[in-house]
Structure 1
Amino acid sequence: MRLKDEVAVITGAGSGMGQAGAIRFAQEGAAVVVVDLNGEAAEKTAQDIRNNGGRAIAVAADISGLEGNEKAVNAALEEFGKLSIVWANAGLATKVQPLADADEAVFRRMQDVNVYGPWNMARAAMPHLAKEKGSMLITASLSGLTARPGNSAYSATKGAAVQLTRALAIEFAPDVRVNSICPVATQTPMQDVFTPGGLKDEIQPKIIAGIPMQRLAVPEDMANAALFLVSREAGMITGHNLPVDGGSLC
């Protein structure tokens, strides 16, 4: 198994990409700390893993601040004795809309989760990851690498996540590898935030038309990419922001 003897913390793992990643990592031998603001969702993911013979615990935490990230890290240390993988996956989005209609309070909350979240996770986890020569992964976005109208606030937070990945990779090499995945539009609850109501029928066909693979991604696409990047197989890869985009940037 590719993650045998590894201990992973995954944030935003109550649904979507984080949930798929928690299940996939456990299948590959990792013990998983399933972290989510929604404690019931986190426990459901953890229970699904345990029901299939894996090892997992759930932690309810707000990861926008240092305290919530420390809670998750400490749970891994207390339950499993170490920490070797972190996937800072939790994120927030807002609907595509003109700048004039944007809400500053929503932007600030996205900053808290999408930027301060992984930054604070690094603060909490790096000493323990360094001890294990481990790996940190951040969920950035294709929106952090390219731009589209009506998406300035979200793009700004994910652009910050892209650059945070590079900065942390340099600072913590050679002890900890740090990478990100940059998903294209993915069939998760967050995708419905981008295109609520009638916007979905209008916008999603245009998104799919711009993806050479001619489909939205699914959470398992991201889980599989994440699995490779956090595994020891990717031992010479750090500071990389991997587009998982069906060829959209070609």
Structure 2
Amino acid sequence: MGTVDRHQIIIEKINKDGQVKVQDLCDEFDVSSVTVRKDLKFLEEKGLLYRMHGGATHTNPYTTDRHVNEKEKIHLPEKMGIGEIAAKMVTANDSILIASGTTVLSLAKNIKPLENLTVITPALNVALELNQHKEIEVIQLGGILRKRSSSVTGLYAENNLSDFSCSKLFLGVDGIDLEFGLTTANMMEARLNREMIKVSQKTIVLADSTKFGKRGFGRICGFDSIDEIITDTGISKFTREALEEHGIKITIV
């Protein structure tokens, strides 16, 4: 198989599955990893893909730390659908954690408590949204306020969590990378998210499909810490199957 043929097949696979792995291409083409990496480098220079650890993707895998007011307007229908499904998982007399982010804010907007509910959150917008319900007791974590996310971070917030045990954590992320795991754009938020995972019996990630294949600066955790991901129909079959191999339940809105 010639170089041009390999390049064409790589592009077709990228367009279909969203990403390719070096080892899979080596096996299919019966060539060395050096040859495949040269192919990927050439295609990246042509603007046809982005190289990443162990392979390549069709979208830029690196996220930026955008303001919450900007992110709230992006993919709003998908986020509201995800929030609606997630809200059905909140039960009477439950005690839950809701992290920061615009997708988990959609969850807060969809919660309609029938009986008492306790919610712990670092996010000011989530706390204000839930404070209007008399059936919900809101525990706002203290700490350093990040203006870009309207949520708190830092050791004070992390230490507060050691006093609690919650049934569920609803977690928002900036990136879900099959090699690197779950990430957020801010290192301090990533640390706080890890502490929230520790005090929760179940961790449910709320993420629209644009988050897959993305990678933020701060790594939260690997897939062994996650129980379920709620997302939309934009998730590729390749990504869904890879996540299910980790034992993660994938719920598609």
Could you state the TM-score of these two structures normalised by the residue count of structure 2?
Answer: 0.40
More strand by share: 2
More helix by share: 1
Q: RCO greater where, 1 or 2, for CA within 8 Å and sep 6 or more?
A: 1
